[in-house]
A = this chain, B = another copy of it.
Amino acid sequence: MKSATEILQRAGIVTTRQRVVLLDRLLRRTDHPDAERLLAEARDGMPSISVDTVYRTLNLFAEAGVIQRMAVPTRRARFDGCTDPHDHFLCSDCETIQDVPRPPERSAAIPAPVSACGIVSDVQTVYVGVCRRCAAQKR
């Protein structure tokens, strides 16, 4: 796996300590955190990092395609450090998000009616439901 610094340089993004820390933390997580959680994460090891920097940086990364701003019906924005094509399962109860593989037949081409709308730069599929843990707890 490539290092955070390497990824930023390759994307033509100026590397600052804050940016490297944030990207590094996000790459190490598989739970698709929100800005608040990333701020908390980053603050151990860099206590002075500000809220604004987190939001600004996440926007910058998402814009540059280094990370993904997720398409999910949650209040807070969620982010994914993995940009390889895959899908997500969102628990509507506890709001945890799990990765699921994308069936190969779907990874193929973009359907014609979609291309007719414009230039597609990102495709996201989310399965919304109740996860096993929440289902078990409910009874």
Contact = CB atoms under 8 A, between A and B. Distances in A.
A106 to B, nearest CB: 7
- Copies per complex? 2
Nearest to A106: B106
A92 B114 CA distance: 14
Contacts of A135: 118-119
Interface string A74-107: 0001000000000101111000001011010110
Contacts of A71: 71-73, 90, 124, 126, 128
Contact of A121 (B101, B121, B129): B129
A14 interface: no
B70 A91 contact: no
